[in-house]
Amino acid sequence: MRKNRGLLTFLGFLLFIIGFTSICLSLMGIQFTFLAWMDSNPLFGFVMRLVMVIAGFLLVAIDGMEWGAEE
């Protein structure tokens, strides 16, 4: 068992939640202040938020796999 399992899952959830919430808020015209630098170009901002959501999902999914535990 890896010792960073909980940390990677936490970071994955954090990326997913912040990215998804940021996409929802940007659809309403609101933005997180610490992510405002992304909105210099709207397409770049949307793509980066989408990358955050996908990376968070992948971190959680890959961290939940049991590597080498075949039955």
pLDDT digits (tens, 9 = 90+) for 26-61: 989 888 888 888 888 889 999 999 999 999 999 999
The model's pTM: 0.81
| Number of structural domains found in the chain | 1
| 39 falls within a domain | yes
| 28 falls within a domain | yes
| 20 falls within a domain | yes
Residue 21, pLDDT score: 95
Burial letters 42-62, b for 16+ CB under 10 A, else e: eeebbebbeebbeebbebbee
Q: Which residues contact 60 (CB under 8 A, 6 or more apart)?
A: 9, 12, 13, 16
Domain extent, residue 40, equals: 8-63
User: CA-to-CA distance for 57 and 41, rounded, in angstroms?
Assistant: 25
